[in-house]
A and B are shown apart, each in its own frame.
Chain A
């Protein structure tokens, strides 16, 4: 592998935002293919970050700074990427449910999904069912991802899923849920398609939801 790609890969894993930006500039100047920088430098690095998180080597702070480094490199790369360089893994509309203002986990999931090649439409916090529906419709979303931190707000996941059904959208997209009080059983009970225990596993869940 090209040394610059190795540096970008290592820089993302170490959360070295400034270094990643510098190396991405160098890589572009040296004529490296932007699609290759993206895939072999950054997406591969985020996959490794996810692996280390699942192994318990990385915690949330390491994930956050790695994702930030990835995003800062991606911002420089984006103007140079061709349509053919980036095959979107899918469109994800993401937000915390109505009444819930806690978004660290949601942001991390959004960054990990972005790092895995998904297109993210982040609606932020306290998102009404109507807002999820409107956005899902306008961007033709593949996945709606909802998070809740509180047992007081988690029931709004079911409200949103029911509203999607009423709007006739339920069968055309997948719903995944997560957050501290959420469990597999709860996800199944409210009719969600997927649940992930953390941001890293959210990536594999999202991929598997769209693979069949």
Chain B
């Protein structure tokens, strides 16, 4: 098969590795991680890529994305099938299963997740926010802008309020994907945890979902109430949010 993979750059190394080893011919397009903050814009860019691939001779398009704040809900498959992992966000793709992420989330919802590409590819100089959530905005720039507009006292208040959710966090996890040298990023994550008084954990990642996505091993969606690990859209179908364990589902457009 000829596959076109459209993926988020936070998965870059994993995608390149699995694409290189895939039995299929895989072309990779990476989109910026910062698009997570603007789901509508991300959706438009994804749809543009999907639309363009219809005339490029691929047998299928695969998305290395999750639901990602509803960014992928509403995407339409064109001409060839579209495969998407059933995942809320990239953390599932790093951990290798929805169930594993769910267990981790239930055990400790206040977790910051760090991975190599995520940190390497950040665009800001300021503090980095959590995977799956993050805003990349440089906090110093924001603060300076607030001081100018609203005065220092209000600026201090706004920074405190806007950043308050970070205080609810208790744990930093570095996910080691075993691709490339993540030593520096792990040390950075450890440092952030120390600085903020969080516990630190190093967790082995699992590339199984990315590998299966790029190997064309998408499984059979029938006969399972929670759905298989991948949603496969036929041409002309659209992604919709499932609001249950399936996370995403497809709907016929007509």
A: which residues have CB within 8 A of B?
15, 17-18, 61-62, 64-65, 68, 99-104, 107, 125-126, 149-155, 158, 180-181, 186, 189-190
Contacts and interface: CB of A to CB of B under 8 A. Distances in A.
A158 B149 CA distance: 40
13 contacts: A61-B149, A65-B154, A99-B109, A100-B109, A102-B165, A103-B164, A103-B168, A107-B161, A150-B88, A151-B67, A155-B244, A180-B69, A189-B243
A186 B243 contact: yes
A64 B164 CA distance: 13
Contacts of A181: 69-70, 241
A146 to B, nearest CB: 15
A101 B110 contact: yes
Interface residues of B, number: 29
Given A151-B69, A155-B243, A181-B69, A101 B158 contact: no
Nearest to A126: B109
Nearest to A102: B165
Contact of B241 (A102, A149, A151): A151
Nearest to B68: A151
Contacts of A155: 243-244
Among A102, A189, A190, max chain B CB count under 10 A is at A102
B158 A64 contact: yes
A103 B166 CA distance: 10
A101 B105 CA distance: 12
A158 B243 CA distance: 10
Nearest to B245: A155
B188 interface: no
B162 interface: yes
A58 B52 CA distance: 38
Contacts of A190: 243
A190 B165 CA distance: 26
A101 B150 contact: no
Contacts of A149: 133
B162 A104 contact: yes
B146 interface: yes
A147 to B, nearest CB: 12
A152 B165 contact: no
B168 A151 contact: no
B16 interface: no
Contacts of A15: 150, 154
